[in-house]
């Protein structure tokens, strides 16, 4: 089967395309992910595993839809707005849900979400005036954050785990916490870089 032909450069792609469908899927998954994570107050190992699968699907499609959109010239205005919203919605639900069940401190969730949503809203509000390209540090932050959250969503400290898995589960839980520490540091640093670059570009436009 031949590969789909990319949209010619300069021709505006339709919003009805695969990347946007995958983005919409991520948004639809958010309430299902949150519900699965919070079943029995987060004590259900089975439902925590279901939540992990949904989170993993969301993270994988986040990577796939961006790659497809760029490779086939399917970047749309809808995608530019919906993609970051979908990303922040699923990770935001993970932070909030894990804080509710006690696996992440609330202050961490509040600080991270304040940074994430303020940057996203500002990026969308200045989209037509100032272009701030995604940097490697921001991409690294997203990756480390995803690994940390995925690890913490798993029922690694479930008392019903087989005895042979109790110790590895405990170790992986604290490894995930270590990744979270790194993710928080990268989140704050990349946020500072973003606001610095916005300030510089706005100053240049005024000059």
- Give residue 2's pLDDT band: very low, low, confident or very high (50, 70, 90): very low
The residue among 26 and 195 whose pLDDT is bigger is 26
120 and 88 Cβ atoms separated by less than 8 Å: yes
Q: How far apart are CA 146 and CA 55, in angstroms?
A: 9
Pick the more confident residue, 186 or 203: 186
Q: Per residue in 103-113, pLDDT tens?
A: 999 999 999 99
| pLDDT higher than 50, residue 176 | yes
For the chain, list the domains and their CATH numbers: 18-154+164-206 (1.20.120.1760)
Question: Please, what is the Cα angle at 199 between 195 and 200, to 5 degrees?
Answer: 120
Alpha-carbon gap, residue 96 to 106, rounded angstroms: 8
pLDDT score at 207: 61
Tokens of 62: 């986040």
Cβ neighbourhood burial of 193 (10 Å; 0-12, 13-18, 19+):
middle
Q: 16-52 burial, b for 16+ CB within 10 Å, e for fewer?
A: ebebbebbbebbebbeebbebbbeeebebbebbebbb
Residue 146 has pLDDT above 90, yes or no: yes
Q: Calculate mean pLDDT across residues 53-70.
A: 91
In tens, the pLDDT along 13-33 reads 788 899 999 999 999 999 999
pLDDT value of residue 188: 93
Helix, strand, coil abundance in the chain, percent, nearest 5 = 75, 0, 25
Residue 11's pLDDT band, with cuts at 50, 70 and 90, is: low
Mean model confidence pLDDT for the chain: 87
Q: How far apart are CA 153 and CA 176, in angstroms?
A: 10
In the structure, what pLDDT confidence band is assigned to residue 199 with cuts at 50, 70 and 90? confident
């Amino acid at each position: 089967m031949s590969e789909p032909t990319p949209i010619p450069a300069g021709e505006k792609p339709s919003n009805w395309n695969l990347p946007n469908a995958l983005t919409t899927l991520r948004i639809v998954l958010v309430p299902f992910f949150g519900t699965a994570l919070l079943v029995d107050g987060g004590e259900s190992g089975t439902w925590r595993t279901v939540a992990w699968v949904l989170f993993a699907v969301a993270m994988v499609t986040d990577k796939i839809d961006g790659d497809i959109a760029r490779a086939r010239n399917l970047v749309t205005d809808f995608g530019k707005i919906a993609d970051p919203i979908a990303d922040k919605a699923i990770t935001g639900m993970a932070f909030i849900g894990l804080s509710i069940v006690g696996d992440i401190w609330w202050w961490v969730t509040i600080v991270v979400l304040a940074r994430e949503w303020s940057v996203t809203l500002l990026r969308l509000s200045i989209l037509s005036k100032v272009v701030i390209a995604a940097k490697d540090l921001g991409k690294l932050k997203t990756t480390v954050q995803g690994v940390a959250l995925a690890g913490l969503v798993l029922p690694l400290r479930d008392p019903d785990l087989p005895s042979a898995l109790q110790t590895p589960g405990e170790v992986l839980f604290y490894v995930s916490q270590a990744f979270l520490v790194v993710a928080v540091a990268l989140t704050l640093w990349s946020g500072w870089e973003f606001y610095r670059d916005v300030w510089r570009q706005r100053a240049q436009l005024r000059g």
